[in-house]
Structure 1
Amino acid sequence: MFLRHFQIFFLAIAVLTPHNFAEVFPAKKPLPLHSVIEDKNFYLLSLFQTNTEISNVLASDKALEQLNSMRQQRLKLALQTCHQNSDCLLRPLTWADEDIQSVSIALTRIYQSNPDVRKIIDRELQESGAYVLYQQRGGQDLLVSAWVLCAHGLNDVLAVYGEGSRPRYPKIDSISFDTHSADFLERVTSLTEQISAVTDKLFFEPSLTAALQLLALNHRDEAGRFEPMQEKINKAALRSISSTHWDRYAFSVIVVPGEGPEDPNVALAEVGRKRTALAAEAYHAGKAPFILVSGGYVHPSQTHFAEAIEMKKALLRDYHVPEEAILVDPHARHTTTNMRNAVREIYRYGMPMNKPALVVSDPSQITYIQSQSLAERCRKELGYVPYKIVARPSNTSLIFLPSIESLQQNPMDPLDP
């Protein structure tokens, strides 16, 4: 089992020289979502599946075929020998370091030898921005780094939602089952039997199927709710963005981090309501053309209320902010991702990245966002800091500039990757 605190790393293969390729900036539009949870967590694997040319090459590669066959044999053996033990059943679906490296070598060889695959990988991975942290490494190493990240993300989902391992935030992210119960064992056995019965799969698909099914089994579809947002909850605001005269405003957007109540019957915490009022005041003062409310289904665990959705309702009902001025991020689960997800919307929705944004909240959270403590937490959990603090004009507000690194996918947090 791999450690929860996975540090993103680069796997170098010294005997091969990476190809040079023209730098492509990530698309300033939301990524197309075919299978939402998969696409948002494992964009590379979705590309492998949906691009026929790549999937055909992967399916016919002898090294990958041999590795896949060996892993399938391990799964069949586990089904025969792992009685009353879900951990044992799922172990063949996790990725050991040596298997991850074997795939990395095969992908590098394919990238080097197949110009058509190389062209697709260079274009699609660069344009997606899903692995923006790796884009300066060159196409070959971008591909390998993205694969390594996906493999560890798959392992993490299997460990937390299949084996009951402790997640980084157990209070809100833990498994929904008693892993020792007969009911859970029966479900895992059925799942692994179904996966084992299908032999015509790409090398990663058994693990991917297991991970996605375990998330669904645990009702952990938070990352997919309200998607595609540009066609649903953010549609009205998006129509206004293209006609906005940005030079009329000091800030591009007013960001409001959510605050979830611990009472499952309370839709919006009082602290969240006060933050919403601060945002409405700044909006009506003309500081920015949009408010972006951020917060998902967080507190208490598996709550029926999303912080951002409830704040939007309050803005519409109580503070007379028009819907076309309200952007919603209904996925963030922490202050780190409040900031990251806000930046993602700024970039993907075509708002100016060189214009400062304003975040408003209560004084204690504003102090925290400004602190080195949060910056270090971002580096630890995300691998980067998604913002640059510019100034603190009041005890309830901060001015910041967004960082494009925020586009990086993080399958180590599958509920909001």
Structure 2
Amino acid sequence: MKRVLVILFLSFATLYLRAQTANQRYQQLGNNYVLIKNYYLLNLLQNYPAASKLVSGDPILTKLAQAKMKTVQDSLKANKGFMSITRSLKFSAAEIKTAGARLVSLYKPNNVLGVLVTKHLIPSGFYIQYDNLSNVKLLVKAWEQDAHAINHTIEIYADGKKPGFPDIDSINFNIYSKTYSKAITDGANDIVKRYGATRLFFLPSVSYALHSLDINGRNDAGNDEPMQLNANKAAYNRIKTIDWKKYMYTLILIPGEGPDRPGVSISPGSIARCKIAAIKFKEGVAPFVMASGGKVHPFKTNFSEAEQMKKYLMNQLGIPENAILIEPQARHTTTNLRNCARLIFRYGMPFNKPFIVSTNKIQSYYISYMQKRCEADLGYVPYTLGRRLSNTEQEIMPNIASLQINPLEPLDP
């Protein structure tokens, strides 16, 4: 019995250690943030020269690429409607299986794919839910996730399938219009023109997924990126100077509330939340506030909740720019908290220190009971609840699981 307990303890200890291998110092490769955030393995296989060379030089994967391009060309010649074209650009179950099996065959712990896993996939944290697997199995899971994510993106933003939140995330076109059919066909013809001779088996499909997002004006995942060089530059540079022992919390998070009417830049709800957070910030419990919220409400708004709240915090409440971080991608309360945890990690802030969510009373108590919603939408809870500080402030501890890519939300993966 004692031996069994020791084995179990060692097994759990291994899982725990593997789960801690995401590295706050890791630097992502590439500069296309929509690609990086949605399909990071494929971004690496495209932008990491040694990996590209290995994959493009493999005869089986090259054959897969050539067969894919022929399927796309045949669908264009057949002229049987846009659904036939988009179907040819998605990965079939057989293609996913073949490519996965070939990656297993090519993988060696000390070759470029082994390095790709140990030096990039694991420390990035993008596939952290697979960290308990062997390295080669993690590689395959990452491939399968990216392939299914590409199919999902094409289904929503080319086929016109309803997304999980159709009121804010739907396609931008009438799929029965001639304009739309032409956009689909032109995109596929462009893929053939640019990648007809490619030896990278995934490139036509991932490029078409990105095209689908682009024609819909749905490159939200790249909003303000790289943020540490743009909207967050002043605050990001100040992070390095902070003596964290002086503060109880890393930051005060303000979840945004979108306006109901087109043309309105900031809602009364967001203004009220900024005022509540500003009072707490001026008590000196945290060195930063973080305004969180993307271009969400109303449908296809041009105004980012986070950007507008930052302006209000600076211009109306006197909070200095170097004390304000923004997170301009979140589309739901669940991802306000998840994305906050991500930026705390990516920006090298103490991950073992709590932050405060400061909002109105209704949302604050909703967050206290939001675990089931998180599990349904994300597959995990991106935080641990701490103390309730008031009717409008809840203490939160970030969860490392927040780094995991969500393949079902291409606007905020």
Specify if TM > 0.5: yes
Contact residue 30 and residue 43 of structure 2 kept, 8 A: no
Distance in 1 between residues matched to 2:291 and 2:109, nearest whole Å: 47
Distance 1:395 1:291, change over 3 A: same
Kindly indicate whether residue 171 of structure 2 is the aligned counterpart of residue 186 of structure 1.
no
Does the 8 Å contact 1:100/1:148 carry over to 2? Answer: yes
Is 1:43 matched with 2:26? no
Corresponding residue of 1:196: 192
**Cα deviation code 1:251-283 (max 9, x no counterpart):** 111011000011112111111111100110000
Work out whether 1:149 is the aligned partner of 2:145. Answer: yes
For 1:57, the equivalent position in structure 2 comes to: 54
Computed over aligned residues only, the root mean square deviation of the Cα atoms, in angstroms, reads: 1.7
Cα drift, residue 345 of structure 1 = 0.9
Q: Is the 8 A contact 1:278 1:361 kept in 2?
A: yes
What are the within-5 Å matches in structure 2 for residues 79-98 of structure 1? 79-83=76-80, 85-98=81-94
C-alpha distance in 1, partners of 2:248/2:189?
58
Q: How does 1:398-417 map to 2 (within 5 A)?
A: 398-417=394-413
Tell whether the 8 Å contact from 1:30 to 1:349 is kept in structure 2 after alignment.
no
> Secondary structure of the equivalent of 1:136?
coil
Cα contact 2:75–2:85 (8 A) shared by 1:
yes
2:225 equivalent in structure 1: 227
Residue 344 of structure 2, aligned match among 335, 343, 346: 346
Aligned to 1:217: 215
* Candidates 278, 281, 284, aligned match of 1:283: 281
- Which string of whole-angstrom CA distances, capped at 9 and with x for unpartnered residues, describes residues 323-355 of structure 1? 111110011100111001100111111111111
Deviation of the 1:60 alpha carbon: 1.7
Question: CA distance change for structure 1 residues 332 and 152 in 2, over 3 Å: closer, same or farther?
Answer: same
Correspondence for 2:302 among 301, 304, 316:
304
Cα distance 1:184–1:75, how it changes in 2: closer, same or farther (>3 A)? Answer: same
Aligned residues: 394
Deviates more, 1:283-292 or 1:196-205: 196-205
- Determine if contact 1:291/1:327 at 8 Å carries over to the other structure: yes
User: Deviation per CA, 1:146-186, whole angstroms, max 9, x where unpaired?
Assistant: 11110111001110110100000001111101111111111
Task: Specify the code of the residue in structure 2 equivalent to 1:208.
Answer: V
| Residues 30, 47 of structure 2: 8 Å contact kept | no
Give the gaps of 5 or more residues in structure 1: 1-20
Which one-letter code corresponds to 1:393 in the other structure?
L
Give the distance between the partners of 2:299 and 2:30, measured in 1 at CA: 26
Partners of 2:106 and 2:184 in 1: CA distance: 34
Offset at 1:78? 0.9
**How far is the alpha carbon of 1:115 from its aligned partner?**
2.3
**Counterpart position of 1:10:** none
Cα pair distance change 1:389/1:24, threshold 3 Å? closer
> What is the CA deviation profile of residues 33-76 of structure 1, one whole-angstrom value per residue up to 9, with x for unaligned ones?
41121111111111001111111111121221222222222212
**More divergent stretch after superposition (282-291 vs 58-67):** 58-67
Change (3 A) 1:301 1:22: closer
Equivalents in 2 of 1:157, 1:119: separation in Å?
29
Q: TM-score normalised to the size of structure 2?
A: 0.92
> Structure 2 counterpart of 1:367, which letter?
Y
How far did residue 113 of structure 1 move?
A: 8.0
Give deviations 1:63-101, integer Å, cap 9, x for gaps.
Answer: 212222222222122112233x21111101111222211
> Does residue 122 of the first structure (1) align with residue 121 of the second (2)?
no
TM-score, length basis structure 1: 0.91
- CA distance 1:64–1:194, shift in 2 (3 Å): same
**Whole-Å Cα distance in 2 between the matches of residues 403 and 149 of structure 1?**
21
Checking the alignment, whether the CA contact within 8 Å between 1:280 and 1:315 is kept in structure 2 is: yes
How far has the Cα of 1:24 moved from its partner? 4.0
1:254 matched to which residue of 2? 252
CA distance in 1, matches of 2:113, 2:358: 46
Q: Distance in 1 between matches of 2:340 and 2:20?
A: 25
What is the CA-CA distance between 1:311 and the residue it aligns to?
0.7
